[in-house]
């Protein structure tokens, strides 16, 4: 069992780390595939030693030295995924959770538990993240700002600054280094779900906390719900204590599947991004499309606004699956105003640049031509607007500035 904190290893490339990190001890164990440990409890005939290990975890949040005592505390299979993800993000540690929302909840609780209940955040965020903050379900208070307003919004009780880049669903991009600078001593939490460490490593720009909905690209096959936070070991210890106390643990089978998903993450991201860039280009010169959002950074997400009725496009796709979520091997499309961002107040949603005519597409590994043929026929019923001055692709950043 590997329980040491992951060490960043700048000598190896991301592609190499993706298939080797978290697996270093396997050959020594005489194994090739990682073992899957489904234990909920771990036997020990020495309850004095076990008491000492429980005390050590309770006071430090350090991974237990030896077997985990109980599965809510730690799991060796999930620990492999955590170590591997930390290596890919270039952080000391990572802590996995039952979902992206459980991961965000733990980050907020870790800070609120220290009396730091105020959060500064930039819209748009994933709909449920927005809702969790807006509704104050965890007793936190949020101040929504433009990126330029972050420094001014920070108070003595500010526990976190929260951003997404590229953001869900507009793909708006932020200057993470400038934002980290504006945060001063307050930790910057960057949700890196859309970019993945293949395209962007926010810790290198000064984000102390890097969050993923691992449900998306990290798992990559639409069959695992999970979240993970990559961060320094000090914050990881706080997160492990919150996870132990609140129970949002990842199932070990999910940890196993996530480690397996990481091994193909770089090739999946590169292939899907290439297709997405080409689809964004074609949409950008299509008269049925009012506006295309595609990040400067690249990536496998494309968002676009139609002149006609977005619901008709959703009902018209045949190869592409009309479904919420993203990051799978197959292409998904959804209407944020109806689904992913439905829970956000319509006024707040529109003010954040989420048009009612916006569609968000997660491009998978199908052929570009097959995807384009499907999009083309789904858009076919759309009336081309005659008063338009001409379509053009715009980057999400430029679009967000309007």
Ligand X SMILES: *Cc1c(COP(=O)(O)O)cnc(C)c1O
For 369, the token pair is: 């031509």
Residue 128 CB, shortest distance to ligand X, in Å, is 6
Give the nearer residue to ligand X in terms of CB position, either 99 or 263. Answer: 99
Answer for the pair 187, 76: CB distance below 8 angstroms, yes or no: no
Answer for the pair 171, 199: CB distance below 8 angstroms, yes or no: no
Answer for the pair 188, 229: CB distance below 8 angstroms, yes or no: no
Give the nearer residue to ligand X in terms of CB position, either 101 or 283. Answer: 101
For 228, the token pair is: 């993970």
Among the residues of 63-121, which ranges form H helices? 76-89, 100-112
Query: Is there a catalytic annotation at residue 130?
Result: no
Give the nearer residue to ligand X in terms of CB position, either 88 or 225. Answer: 225
For 348, the token pair is: 């707040």
Instruction: Map residue 228 onto helix, strand or coil.
Output: strand
- The C-alpha atoms of residue 300 and residue 166 are separated, in whole angstroms, by 11
Residue 224 CB, shortest distance to ligand X, in Å, is 9
- Which letter, b or e, does each residue of 114-145 get, where b requires 16 or more Cβ atoms within 10 Å of its Cβ? eebbbbbbbbbbbbbbbbbbbeeeeebebbbb
Give the nearer residue to ligand X in terms of CB position, either 50 or 130. Answer: 130
Q: Which residues bind ligand X (CB under 6 A)?
A: 99-101, 126, 128-129, 164, 168, 191, 193, 213, 215-216, 225, 227
Give the nearer residue to ligand X in terms of CB position, either 310 or 336. Answer: 336
Query: Is there a catalytic annotation at residue 53?
Result: no
- The C-alpha atoms of residue 95 and residue 16 are separated, in whole angstroms, by 22
Using CB atoms, what's the residue nearest to ligand X?
Answer: 100
Query: Is there a catalytic annotation at residue 216?
Result: yes
In the set 80, 123, 216, 357, the catalytic residue is 216
- The C-alpha atoms of residue 352 and residue 269 are separated, in whole angstroms, by 27
Task: Give the catalytic positions in this structure.
Answer: 72, 126, 191, 216
């Amino acid at each position: 069992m590997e329980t040491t904190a992951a060490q960043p290893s700048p000598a190896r490339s991301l592609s190499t780390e993706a298939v080797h990190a978290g697996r270093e001890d396997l050959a020594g164990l005489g194994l090739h595939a990682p073992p899957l440990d489904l234990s909920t409890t771990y036997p020990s005939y020495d309850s004095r030693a076990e008491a000492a290990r429980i005390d050590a975890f309770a006071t430090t949040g350090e991974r237990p030295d030896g077997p985990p005592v109980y599965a809510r505390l730690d799991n060796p299979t999930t620990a492999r995924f955590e170590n591997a993800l930390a290596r890919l993000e270039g952080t000391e540690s990572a802590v996995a959770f039952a979902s992206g929302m459980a991961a965000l909840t733990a980050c907020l609780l870790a800070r609120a538990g220290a009396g730091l209940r105020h959060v500064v955040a930039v819209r748009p965020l994933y709909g449920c993240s927005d809702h969790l903050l807006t509704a104050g379900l965890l007793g936190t208070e949020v101040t929504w700002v433009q990126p330029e307003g972050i420094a001014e919004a920070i108070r003595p009780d500010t526990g976190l600054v929260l951003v997404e880049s590229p953001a869900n669903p507009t793909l708006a991009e932020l200057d993470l280094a400038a934002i980290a600078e504006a945060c001063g001593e307050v930790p910057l939490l960057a949700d890196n779900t859309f970019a993945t460490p293949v395209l962007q490593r926010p810790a290198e720009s000064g984000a102390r906390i890097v969050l993923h909905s691992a449900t998306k690209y990290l798992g990559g096959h639409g069959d695992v719900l999970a979240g993970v936070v990559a961060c320094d070991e000090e914050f990881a210890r706080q997160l492990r204590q919150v996870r132990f106390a609140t129970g949002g643990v990842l199932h070990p089978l999910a940890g196993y599947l996530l480690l397996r998903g990481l091994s193909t993450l770089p090739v999946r991201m590169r292939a899907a991004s290439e297709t997405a860039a080409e689809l964004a280009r074609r949409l950008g010169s299509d008269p049925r499309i009012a506006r295309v959002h595609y990040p400067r950074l690249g990536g496998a997400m494309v968002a676009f606004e139609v002149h006609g009725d977005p619901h008709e496009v959703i009902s018209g796709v045949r190869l592409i699956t009309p479904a919420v979520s993203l990051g799978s091997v197959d292409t998904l499309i959804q209407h944020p105003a109806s689904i992913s961002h439905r829970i956000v107040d319509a006024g707040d949603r529109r003010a954040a640049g989420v048009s009612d005519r916006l569609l968000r597409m997660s491009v998978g590994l199908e052929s570009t031509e097959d995807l384009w043929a499907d999009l083309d026929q789904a858009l076919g019923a759309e009336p081309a607007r005659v008063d338009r001055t001409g379509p053009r692709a715009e980057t999400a950043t430029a679009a967000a500035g309007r």
